[in-house]
């Protein structure tokens, strides 16, 4: 069973949270509510999220301050943030959103289809990264176990390598399709950059796996998945 990604929705108005849930429910992911910046930061302490939808204008800690805290934490600094705002103070206000670490800045009222499409891209990237980390962990066990591992269920090295290679190939194919989709849709620069980073990690993992094949001439190191 494929684990669902979590999407954090941050807004002090319950009706806005309800609207976001209605728009994003079609993605069939786990939607987590937070009614303040403080509540959002608390949720981020324990759970991993694919993307954060963050309202700018909130009492107490506003969206900009909340984003600054998110970006300062090592655990959460790479989570994409999409700012949502009902006010428009011109280019300076928008620039402040990007300066705070947002990957996008959307003014209300927004097109539900556009918002859903943008969020779906980051959910897909998150899922591909999760798959990549899983493959890297399996490969690392293979390297450290010297041939057999608990994950492989006692399989011979060649059999486990073939299984790992097949799994990695599936992720590579999905990542390539996603990259083509981003190119075709003229997607956000942040999404394109994240996809490129994912492809670089896939390339490094593939090289490490190929180095383990018979006749490759030695072991390889597994690239970092940060």
- CATH code, 6-110: 3.40.50.2300
Segment 24-77, tens digit of pLDDT: 999 999 999 999 999 999 999 999 999 999 998 899 999 989 999 999 999 898
| Phi, psi of 106, rounded to the nearest 5 degrees | -115, 130
Nearest to 179 by CA among 50, 17, 187, 226: 187
Q: Where are the domains of the chain?
A: 6-110, 116-212
| Phi, psi of 78, rounded to the nearest 5 degrees | -95, 0
Segment 130-166, tens digit of pLDDT: 877 777 777 777 666 654 444 444 445 566 667 667 7
Give the number of C-alpha atoms closer than 13 A to the C-alpha of residue 46, restricted to the C-beta side.
4
Q: Is 216 exposed, middle or buried (0-12, 13-18, 19+ CB in 10 A)?
A: exposed
Segment 173-189, tens digit of pLDDT: 776 766 666 665 555 66
């Amino acid at each position: 069973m494929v684990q669902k990604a979590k999407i954090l929705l941050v807004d002090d108005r319950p009706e806005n949270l309800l609207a976001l849930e209605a728009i994003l429910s079609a993605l069939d992911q786990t939607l987590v509510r937070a009614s303040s910046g403080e509540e959002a930061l608390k949720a981020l302490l324990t759970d991993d999220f694919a993307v954060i939808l963050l309202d700018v204008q909130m009492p107490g800690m506003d969206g900009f301050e909340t984003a600054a805290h998110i970006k300062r934490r090592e655990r959460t600094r790479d989570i994409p943030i999409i700012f949502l705002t009902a006010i428009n103070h011109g280019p300076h206000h928008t620039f402040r959103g990007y300066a705070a670490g947002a990957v996008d800045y959307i003014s209300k009222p927004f097109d539900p289809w556009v918002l859903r499409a943008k969020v779906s891209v980051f959910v897909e990237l998150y899922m591909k990264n999760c798959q990549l980390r899983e493959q890297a962990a399996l490969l690392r066990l293979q390297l450290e176990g010297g041939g057999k591992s608990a994950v492989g269920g006692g399989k011979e090295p060649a059999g486990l390598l073939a299984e790992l290679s097949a799994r990695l190939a599936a992720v590579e194919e999905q990542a390539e399709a996603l990259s083509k989709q981003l190119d075709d849709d003229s997607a956000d620069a942040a999404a394109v950059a994240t996809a490129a980073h994912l492809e670089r990690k896939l390339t490094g993992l593939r090289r490490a796996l190929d180095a383990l094949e018979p006749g490759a001439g030695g072991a390889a190191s597994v690239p970092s998945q940060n």
